[in-house]
Amino acid sequence: MANYYDIDDILAEEELIPVVFQKAATGVGLLDPSSETNNIEQGAKVELPFWLANELNTRQAVVMSIPSCFNQMTRKEIQADPGSVDLRNRCQYFYELGCKIAPTAGDRTIGSFLLYAFKNRYKEVLSKAHTATLIASTKPLTLLTKEETRLCEAAQSSMTSFKKWRMGGSRFEIPSVLGKKRKPSE
């Protein structure tokens, strides 16, 4: 866990990851909703939160699969039109989860895919944030992940501050040090 007190980090690690059990496990049958017993058999496919799947993966009890939000269909959609893909419904913490999964996943292209998606969506997020009014910008915000939403809100805030400054805010502030006169030295 990267940041123990960060609620976004906690929620990112709660995303479900498909795993396949490599060993039979007793007393954990409630992890598999289709299990009628309190045991999980070897080869059972279950979805677990990332924090648990990662720990079991390091102990070689399970093999993690890549979540559906990083599948080939999502990659093709992002390559076709990055700004129109609804990543929030697929995974609210798309980039954070991708960065956590990349070292452990068998697919080595996740890192480059995350970079490509972020760079191309970032351009659109900034252009929409700087040109759209606050009322008109609510629709694009529904497509954005938590990270992108924070970036968009920061861009809108900076644009609002810039417009306020440009329209007559204080142009220059005189430092208090300049207002004081020096005493002549004798």
**List of the chain residues with pLDDT < 50:** 1
Q: Determine the pLDDT at residue 31.
A: 72
Q: What is the pLDDT of residue 54?
A: 92
- Residue 175, pLDDT score: 67
pLDDT at 50: 93
d(CA 116, CA 95): 11
> Does an H or E element contain 88, and which?
helix 87-90
With 0-12 CB in 10 A as exposed, 13-18 as middle and 19+ as buried, what is 42? exposed
- All residues at 6 or more sequence positions from 55 whose CB lies less than 8 Å from its CB, including other chains: none
Query: Length of the chain in residues, anyone?
Result: 186
Query: CB neighbours of 35 closer than 8 A, spacing ≥ 6?
Result: 29, 44
Tokens of 182: 């020096």
Residues 6+ apart with CB under 8 A from 7: none
pLDDT score recorded for residue 105:
76
Q: Distance from CA of residue 24 to its chain's centroid?
A: 33
Predicted local distance difference test score (pLDDT) of residue 103: 87
- The two three-digit tokens of residue 140, written as one number: 């694009």
Structure tokens at 98: 């991708």
Q: What is the pLDDT of residue 171?
A: 60
Please report the DSSP string for 134-166 in residue order. TTTTHHHHTTS-HHHHHHHHHHHHHHHHHHHHH
